[in-house]
Structure 1
Amino acid sequence: MMESGGKSSKDKVVAVVGGGLVGALNACYFARRGFQVEVFESRDDIREAKIVRGRSINLALSHRGRQALSRVGMEEKIVSKGIPMHSRMIHSLNGKQSPIPYGKKGQYILSVDRANLNKELLTEAERYPNAKMNFDHKLQDWSPDTGLMTFLRPDGSTQSLQADLIVGCDGAFSTIRKQFLRRSRFNFSQTYIPHGYLELTMPPVAGEFAMKPNYLHIWPRNTFMMIALPNLDKTFTCTLFMPFDEFEKITTGDDVMEFFLEYFPDAIPLIGVEALKTDYFRLPAQAMVSIKCSPYHINDRCVLMGDSAHAVVPFYGQGMNAGFEDCIVFDEIMDQCNEDFSAVLPEYTRVRVPDDHTIADLAMYNYVEMRAHVNSKWFLFRKKVDDILHFLLPKTIVPLYTMVTFTRIRYHEALQRWHWQNKVINQGLLVCATGAVLGGSYLIAKHPPKIQSIPIEKVWDRLLSLKV
């Protein structure tokens, strides 16, 4: 295609800064359009590194991410190496396990390996003859006016490049975003939550998974929680999320055992006593940050995507999915605006900012749901009501989790719809409850000897046992 400036896409240079998940996927998107793509990554090639530095090996891939992968022909390959998780499996203190399905039958999220996914995307990007990978290139400086970029190489030398478009995919602590901070009318906020996370490994038992594999296991303990996701090697990655001041109270192996005996007794034999005592102290608890900013672009020269634009805490499983959706949304706008960057970039900011800010807020909310609300009988009852209404009125009542995880309804529209649904359902329940009370009062007044009181626990248990 020809832009107003006279250059065709094959003559334009797109520099993707960051070779992680979103950067590698973006390279595929731009390369398939015919742009000359240069990917710059400050670290070694993950495909050759003996030790992969970075975050958790676990990711939850859902509909938005799958759609983005599908557009570049990668969905099938990635899904084939994922493990379906159909439900949350709630582990009570007494050892009881209770599943809470994510959606309707056939709806599931996938546990995928971060490093493998990154490797597959880099390899796919390299298949395009117009895409080039540059590893061990650290961005030193760049100009938002000219697109001139300077990178430092391992031998101390520098490399310069003139880019028509710079795509910042270099993570929550983005070097690209630093230039945005120097400009007026750029909004930026970051929030560290008071909770950190620490990872442990649950090994296989006799060559098989130690727990049922097709679940995201959760040990909710109100102010903190542990989760476990399955891996292809039959291990589980267990992640303990807890306030930092609680982590700091545990200083010895005996402290670890005392803590797990009190809150996660059923996990001790599955992880192993000695492994718990040593692995707990292998790395300190890691921090989690939520970042919002706007706009996502500077003129027609630079755009932010993924964590560079919107780092989110991991509790909705949407960080990667939202980053991948950035790629497909940008691609859709490229079609609408005929690849004219001067029109594409501001439209991308207009469309994407409200959605990314919403998923950042929802991720914060979902931590409370995962660690506390799932213990509430009211929460379980309301989820049952939502599921029944969704079954009866599938186009009118759609649970928030379903909209976020199994559709591409825009995040901010899903939240607005959820608020409306909640208002309608709560009013309906209030009317039903009022009617039941009035009806019960009438029956009691008319037939006092025949009416027996029913313990509220039995009422809850009966409601929760209903099948959709």
Structure 2
Amino acid sequence: MQTPQKIAVIGSGLVGTLLAIYLKKMGHTVHVFDRSPDIRTVEFSGRSINLVMSNRGWKSLEDIGIDHEIRKIGIPVDKRAIHLQDGKLNYQFYGKDGEAIFSLSRGVLNRKMIDLAEAVGVEFKFEHKIWDVTLADATLHIGESERGEWTELKYDKVFGADGAFSRIRHRMQRQSLFDYSQEFMKIGYKELHIPANADGTHKIDKNSLHIWPRGQFMLMALPNLDGSFTCTLFMPFEGENSFNALQEEDKLVDFFAKYFPDTKEVIPDLVHDFFKNPTSYLVMMKCFPWTHEDNIALIGDAAHAIVPFYGQGMNVGFEDISVLVEMINKYGDDWELIFKSYEKSRKPNADAIAELSMRNFIEMSTKTADEKFLLQKKIEKWFSDKHPEKWLPLYSRVTFSTQPYSEALAIGDFQNKIMEEVMTTIPDIENKWNSLEVEEKIISLLSSKVH
């Protein structure tokens, strides 16, 4: 048991709220501060990408006993549905039979998590603006405006769970020997909407992540419990096919008719949604260290903002909590050692999933429409089913296991080299993809290559 502390968590998003539940159940006094209003009292729409929960996220929820509550508000998704421009629809199943990610509405999930946190005694302070923190003694500075009068609030520990533009990290950045980098993608996103049928059913397959891959841009859709889908259009800001090029209604309608013809019947409010909803940015952020002495720590996006193309943003943040709790259980009241061990364990894995997430944009927007890529994935799944002890595909390592991301990335690169050799050196691979020759070639390459 730890000595009870007075702890502030800055940010009432998913990671901050789950962390607060853990800390409260450990016996600490926990206050969660957020500059925004209580999300349960506001309309939440217009700038979201649905979340997907996979094994890492579920583990952190199971360990604290709230996974069953969250499963009630999600929809299992066991495959990709690839919508090609010529009207063809290809399905690419994830993992093994029964393995699925869960589609969750960010707003619905966040509201539920706050309810669960309040139920165990976490105290939320909405519309409280934290502008700064004194690192030496974990004192928060709160006020109505950045240049106005501030009040001081003293805590034993402060966790910055306040996202990619964290105020807590902003203070830490002003120390010497603090590494920081931020990069905006040249691609933005806009939320669109597929409403439910009149009887509340889904217009397209509800157990699929729907992708319309078009190279430099793509559309994707994930299901909601009410029969609707949250769609996200990812596009460059500038160029021929870009947000900048779609400023007029007729250009937008023509663009969708050309590139996404099968959406005409299912996105009836395209024009309204497109021009009403904001065009949002995608940012990647890396920093180190994530902690200061024994009293300040960054967690989730405040420590490692990544792009959403692997569906791991929430999962990596929840896994941060699992590792932090593991260190707390191991080191008791030695918070400095807890923090150092936590950041040392998590940093390489956060960097690895950042790299994997960037790569997955290319896979989703381009490769999922490529016959050779789909054949490679088919071979990998066939070989993995025959030899599960020898081969677990990269996607399964990331999504359906809790193997460290850094290991998954290294093994995935090794496996990809093997598949490149198989695809380029075996003639007529399209017809021999599940032959003894291919099987023996992969086994031989696995034993001869050292990664």
Q: Is the 8 A contact 1:186 1:294 kept in 2?
A: yes
Percent of residue pairs bearing the same amino acid type: 39
What aligned pairs does 1:355-394 form with structure 2 within 5 A after superposition? 355-394=349-388
What aligned pairs does 1:11-410 form with structure 2 within 5 A after superposition? 12-49=5-42, 51-52=43-44, 55-56=47-48, 58-129=50-121, 131-152=122-143, 158-207=150-199, 208-245=201-238, 246-272=242-268, 275-410=269-404
Cα distance, 1:461–1:97 mapped onto 2, change above 3 Å? farther
Cα distance, 1:209–1:409 mapped onto 2, change above 3 Å? same
Residue 276 of structure 2 aligns to a residue in which SS? coil
Q: Partner amino acid for 2:227?
A: K
Residue 387 of structure 1 aligns to a residue in which SS? helix
Runs of 5+ consecutive residues of structure 2 not aligned to the other structure: 440-451
Q: In 2, Cα distance between the equivalents of 1:300 and 1:97?
A: 54
Aligned length: 431
Offset at residue 391 of structure 1 (A): 1.0
Q: Is the 8 A contact 2:188 2:235 kept in 1?
A: yes
Are residue 411 (structure 1) and residue 405 (structure 2) matched?
A: yes
Cα distance, 1:153–1:247 mapped onto 2, change above 3 Å? closer
Runs of 5+ consecutive residues of structure 1 not aligned to the other structure: 3-7, 437-455
Q: Partner amino acid for 2:250?
A: D
Q: Is the 8 A contact 1:381 1:464 kept in 2?
A: no
Cα distance, 1:277–1:52 mapped onto 2, change above 3 Å? closer
Q: Partner amino acid for 1:411?
A: Y
Offset at residue 124 of structure 1 (A): 1.5
Q: In 2, Cα distance between the equivalents of 1:386 and 1:404?
A: 15
- Cα offsets for 1:153-190 (capped at 9, x unmatched): 69x87543221111000011100001111011111111
Cα distance, 1:141–1:354 mapped onto 2, change above 3 Å? same
Q: In 2, Cα distance between the equivalents of 1:287 and 1:423?
A: 33
Cα distance, 1:126–1:300 mapped onto 2, change above 3 Å? same
Q: Partner amino acid for 1:212?
A: D
Q: In 1, Cα distance between the equivalents of 2:16 and 2:421?
A: 46
Cα distance, 1:118–1:232 mapped onto 2, change above 3 Å? same
Counterpart for residue 451 of structure 1? none
Q: In 1, Cα distance between the equivalents of 2:46 and 2:166?
A: 15
- Cα offsets for 1:247-304 (capped at 9, x unmatched): 11112111111101110001012112xx222221113321110111111111111110
Q: Is the 8 A contact 2:49 2:232 kept in 1?
A: no
- Cα offsets for 1:171-219 (capped at 9, x unmatched): 1110000111101111111111111111111112332211111100000
Cα distance, 1:75–1:54 mapped onto 2, change above 3 Å? farther
Q: In 2, Cα distance between the equivalents of 1:397 and 1:334?
A: 34
Q: In 2, Cα distance between the equivalents of 1:276 and 1:430?
A: 43
What aligned pairs does 1:432-451 form with structure 2 within 5 A after superposition? 433=426
Q: Partner amino acid for 1:283?
A: N
Offset at residue 392 of structure 1 (A): 1.8
Q: In 1, Cα distance between the equivalents of 2:80 and 2:215?
A: 16
- Cα offsets for 1:304-361 (capped at 9, x unmatched): 0111011111100000111111111100111121241110011111100000011111
Offset at residue 118 of structure 1 (A): 1.1
Cα distance, 1:81–1:53 mapped onto 2, change above 3 Å? closer
Residue 159 of structure 2 aligns to a residue in which SS? strand
Q: In 2, Cα distance between the equivalents of 1:313 and 1:204?
A: 28
CA root-mean-square deviation:
2.1
Residue 280 of structure 1 aligns to a residue in which SS? helix
Q: In 1, Cα distance between the equivalents of 2:71 and 2:431?
A: 37
Residue 309 of structure 2 aligns to a residue in which SS? helix
Cα distance, 1:461–1:240 mapped onto 2, change above 3 Å? farther
Residue 339 of structure 2 aligns to a residue in which SS? helix
Q: In 2, Cα distance between the equivalents of 1:262 and 1:53?
A: 27
Offset at residue 141 of structure 1 (A): 2.1
Q: Is the 8 A contact 2:287 2:304 kept in 1?
A: yes
Q: Partner amino acid for 1:262?
A: K
Q: In 2, Cα distance between the equivalents of 1:312 and 1:126?
A: 29
Q: In 2, Cα distance between the equivalents of 1:251 and 1:126?
A: 44
Q: Partner amino acid for 1:248?
A: N
Q: In 2, Cα distance between the equivalents of 1:143 and 1:244?
A: 39
Q: Partner amino acid for 2:405?
A: Y
Q: Partner amino acid for 1:26?
A: L
Offset at residue 426 of structure 1 (A): 3.9
Q: In 2, Cα distance between the equivalents of 1:192 and 1:353?
A: 20
Q: In 2, Cα distance between the equivalents of 1:159 and 1:295?
A: 28
Counterpart for residue 441 of structure 1? none
Q: In 1, Cα distance between the equivalents of 2:299 and 2:405?
A: 16
Q: Partner amino acid for 2:34?
A: E
Cα distance, 1:222–1:344 mapped onto 2, change above 3 Å? same
Residue 58 of structure 2 aligns to a residue in which SS? helix
Q: In 2, Cα distance between the equivalents of 1:293 and 1:83?
A: 34
Q: Whose Rg is larger?
A: 1
Give the TM-score normalised by the residue count of structure 2. Answer: 0.91
- Once structures 1 and 2 are overlaid, which stretch shifts more, 285-294 or 415-424? 415-424
Q: Partner amino acid for 1:186?
A: F
- Cα offsets for 1:398-444 (capped at 9, x unmatched): 1110000011100001111112223344445566x2xx6xxxxxxxx
- Cα offsets for 1:127-168 (capped at 9, x unmatched): 224x321111110221110111122269x8754322111100
